[in-house]
Structure 1
Amino acid sequence: MVKQVQENFERRFEKRAPSKLNLHLWEKKAFQTGSVMDTKHSGRPRTRDVAIENLHQSVLRSLKKSLHKRSAELGISPATLHRVLKDDLYLKAYKPTVVSELSDADHVNRMTACDRLLQTLISYPIDQR
């Protein structure tokens, strides 16, 4: 009986048939569950799948929030949050930095400082350098 099933399988799907053991396991599973498909596995649920939409809404509300603050707010680990941002939402986490703007007065002050430093170095004895 198993040989006939294997031959039919190979003819229909044009590939090697499953072993006798696998056919028996499929039969047992089909009678128990009504399907040969794998059942849902128990274990810890994936937070990443649930977090994508919440994270997307959070980012739209506030672009400047840090990764760690957003992580605490949403109850997601920073590593998961970073992975979702990068892989699913195609965003990059960045750390905002404060940058001083240079004005025209700053240019004059820098030139003055450079001139003073140059004069100091020129008048400094060579043997003490």
Structure 2
Amino acid sequence: MSDDSAAPTPPEGLPEAVVTELNGLSAEDLRRAIVHAQELLQWQEDTPSQIELHPGEDVIRVNERDTYTEVVKTVPCPEGCEDCPHGPYLYHVREEQRPEGGTHTHWTFIGEVDTEKN
């Protein structure tokens, strides 16, 4: 964990209990909290989340862009291996219209990313 004097200031109006709980979480638990918070926002807005994970995948970061959602995640091998999980990998995710109607979530693989630099 980093130096407390350099900790980010929570947004105004965020309940103190939430701030205290978030400050006590590990990086992995914070990532899970971000994913859950985004899912809750989607649910409250009654818009289905386009970020659906397969078993063993772990989201590192999600950033909303104007025309797509940027997702960085790790992925396991289908049968497993000694080096799993692999990544993290960057994907651009967007909803595409189907000719017959409705939409389809399209994941575009961009490549491996170095999360140590971010």
| TM-score with structure 2 setting the length | 0.21
| Larger RCO, structure (CA 8 Å, separation 6 or more) | 2
| TM-score with structure 1 setting the length | 0.20
Higher helix fraction (1 or 2):
1
Structure with the greater alpha carbon radius of gyration: 1
